[in-house]
Structure 1
């Protein structure tokens, strides 16, 4: 766990600064750089005229190429750092853009604040920035549910998973994970275009998030205002989710807040009939988003504390 200290530095810097808009406007963001590479491979290698088997093979090759390049860049940067505390601090600063701790908090809070004031229009606009479902069809409960689900899933994907792989393997680990996660978000969904080409991206992401998703769920359980309900909901309902991983943090947070999550939702005009997590509980409200953010902040402090102990040990 030699790089646990670097991940604490990354979390601390991101909690303080986020990714400043002026910096984004000037140089973009590592995820957008990865996104441009993935988009270029998708355009050039994912040809509609090719049979599914060839498109799947091209998707495997493309995913492995992107991940290998990210890992190689991480290894190169890490090899240039002098061992000791300087290495830990500099590695943490280099890892900082890959930990979305403040961004997630601010995006979810941007939904909670207008919803608490009953401004559904502003809340719908804010939630549309973090979920893919149709915001116009969402009432207060739907908006709150979408925000809480996004908070739960992205705590795992955006913070716990990159920090987990970064603590294990340093910059190659965190950069490799971000490549995997970006691949999945861009080409891993089950659309006609990406059913074959994105197969490898989705499967690799499932493997990479297996441990972090469950770790995130247990972090929520430990800091839950309703700890026993959170644990029972997670162990009972996590496997009902369509994702093999997202159900763990979502079910844990549903139990922690005493609300039901998931369920039917509308994407691009079509209704998908998803099972409920914590079925029988009440629908969430604006105040539940704020309570979820409190659990989130405490969980992130606990994660940073555990990493700091491992670093000093």
Structure 2
């Protein structure tokens, strides 16, 4: 029951408090570890296709496993001091593994700037949460970028961490965050990471495969509960759920596009280079700032459903087993 209680407390701490700037975050240290390991492994393996693939595979094994073992050991040692200390540590890491409040806060900052007709400010705000170039986006483009980020990161930042936290507590949750952080840092198809980052990218695809599909159906249910077009969400998901280079990213984006009756994705600029991408959804109306609020309502409702569903399944399995 400790894990269930820690997940429950951690979820509501994230929902209420987000990630305070003053509090050290595991992802920051994971990022530092990735950078250090990359330098170390590149020196130890030959600078060839095979060598880079092997170095990247070593990174993809070391960081998630190390994160799991360090968290498990820390919680175990805390438990030797006092069970309450172990619970508090697990709760802290469950809190930090989730991003409900962060997604809401950052995307609503974009909405506020758009409503103030401060396009430069809106571009700057959305640049904090997307990887694409934002300096030439119009107001609709900025809103689309924010909506896509909330939709995609509902899976990566909320549902998937919850899924793994409920299964294996904070150690497995932080293992997942390590995989996700690796992919965000080295999982690019560019000259530097095409081979080195391949194992991290593939591992992220595997880790997100089931959570992304659960997330899509959670978002559909949330669309129904928040008055959006749930029927269209299912139709667009069924048609466009693979309209992305990743097998997982379009799962929730397609639901968002259908629920809001808008067109998402399409070509985008990254580091000054145009990347051709298929569109998701249908251009039934112009994207507007209010759509950011709509997708946030869906995200929060879907997050609450995920919490209840995952904990209920865990409790049932604990009783049966």
Query: How high is the TM-score relative to the length of structure 1?
Result: 0.92
For 1:252-263, list aligned pairs within 5 A: 252-263=255-266
- Structure with more contact order per residue of length (Cα contacts < 8 Å, sep ≥ 6): 1
Matched, 1:179 2:178: yes
Task: Report the alpha carbon displacement of residue 237 of structure 1 after superposing the two structures with TM.
Answer: 0.5
Q: CA deviation at 1:92?
A: 2.2
Alpha-carbon separation, structure 1, partners of 2:103 and 2:247: 22
Equivalent in 28, 32, 42 of residue 32 of structure 1: 28
Instruction: State the SS of the aligned residue for 2:274.
Output: strand
Instruction: Identify the residue that residue 3 of structure 1 maps to in structure 2.
Output: 3
- Measure, in 2, the Cα distance between the counterparts of 1:207 and 1:308: 23
RMSD: 2.1
User: What SS is found at the alignment partner of 2:282?
Assistant: coil
Alignment match, 1:22: 22
TM-aligned CA deviation for residue 285 of structure 1: 1.1
Matched, 1:106 2:105: yes
Contact 1:98 1:162 in 2 (8 A): yes
Q: Once the 2 structures are TM-superposed, how far is the Cα of residue 165 of structure 1 from its aligned partner?
A: 0.8
Aligned 8 A contact 1:137 1:266 in 2: no
Greater shift, 117-126 or 201-210, is seen at 117-126
Question: In the alignment, which residue of structure 1 is the partner of 2:39?
Answer: 43
Structure 2 CA distance for aligned equivalents of residues 55 and 43 of structure 1: 12
Query: Superposition pairs for residues 123-142 of structure 1, below 5 Å?
Result: 123-142=122-141
Asked whether the 8 Å contact 1:4–1:307 carries over to 2, the reply is no
Distance across 1 between alignment mates of 2:308 and 2:89: 20
Secondary structure, counterpart of 2:22 in structure 1: helix
Q: Normalising to structure 2: TM-score of the pair?
A: 0.90
Q: Aligned pair count?
A: 309
Which of 233, 243, 248 matches 1:245?
Answer: 248
TM-superposed CA distance for 1:16, in Å, is 1.4
The unaligned stretches of length 5 or more in structure 2 are 317-321
* Contact 2:46–2:52 under 8 Å retained in 1: no
Moved over 6 A (4+): 82-86
